Amino acid sequence: MYWREWLKTMVLALIILGILNSWVFNISTVKGQSMQPTLVQQERLFINKLIYKFHTPARGDIIILHDPILSASPSSKLLVKRVIAIGGDTIEIRNHRVYINQIEQQETYIDTDIGDEDHKPMIVPEGQYYVMGDNRHEGMSKDSRIFGTIALTQIVGRADFIIWPLSKWAFL
């Protein structure tokens, strides 16, 4: 009899965890180098999946998104990127620096100027987001410079904090 109660509790816990994992939060592992120095490979992130049901992404948010190039696949790869510009912003990469609405951005989270080519000014369409990795060394980040802007529907959630390793625990 004891094992039946234990089994019921475990099944209920798994159902609740499954619902929370599908709709509320997720744990994601950083793969690759596109977000260095902010995030490094194998760090685990707490992903808030509810946040964008209540408000839209803001400049500086670190988000998890479906890879726009592979989005036709139901199991498309996930990417982690930073929101650089939002709908209505004019973004330009000039002299290896980011300019939003003609103002040079002070990006304290990067460790080098942009190694890739400059990009002419473009206006981010309303309801779209321009995202980049924090690793600005040449060719190190597959981001909006390659695949263009993204829609809210492509965003899985916001990375709120690093949960593992414990020595790196921090809010993002």
| 7 pLDDT more than 80 | no
pLDDT of residue 90: 97
Give Cβ neighbours of residue 76 (< 8 Å, ≥ 6 apart). Answer: 66, 67, 70
pLDDT of residue 70: 77
Domain count, the chain: 1
| 140 pLDDT more than 90 | no
What CATH number should be reported for the domain holding residue 159?
Answer: 2.10.109.10
pLDDT of residue 71: 63
Active-site position among 22, 28, 73, 81: 81
Whole-number Å distance between alpha carbons of 148 and 142 = 10
Active-site position among 34, 49, 142, 144: 34
Whole-number Å distance between alpha carbons of 46 and 159 = 6
Give Cβ neighbours of residue 45 (< 8 Å, ≥ 6 apart). Answer: 27, 28, 29, 30, 39, 64, 80, 159, 160, 161, 162, 163, 172
pLDDT, tens digit, 9 for 90 and up, residues 37-88: 998 889 999 899 989 999 999 999 999 998 888 765 556 688 999 999 999 9
| 31 pLDDT more than 70 | yes
For the question of residue 77 being annotated catalytic, the response is no
User: What is the residue range of 34's domain?
Assistant: 2-171
Determine if the peptide bond prior to 57 is cis (ω within 30°): no
Whole-number Å distance between alpha carbons of 48 and 26 = 7
Neighbours of 121 (CB within 10 A): 12
Confidence of residue 23 (pLDDT cuts 50, 70, 90): low
For the question of residue 81 being annotated catalytic, the response is yes
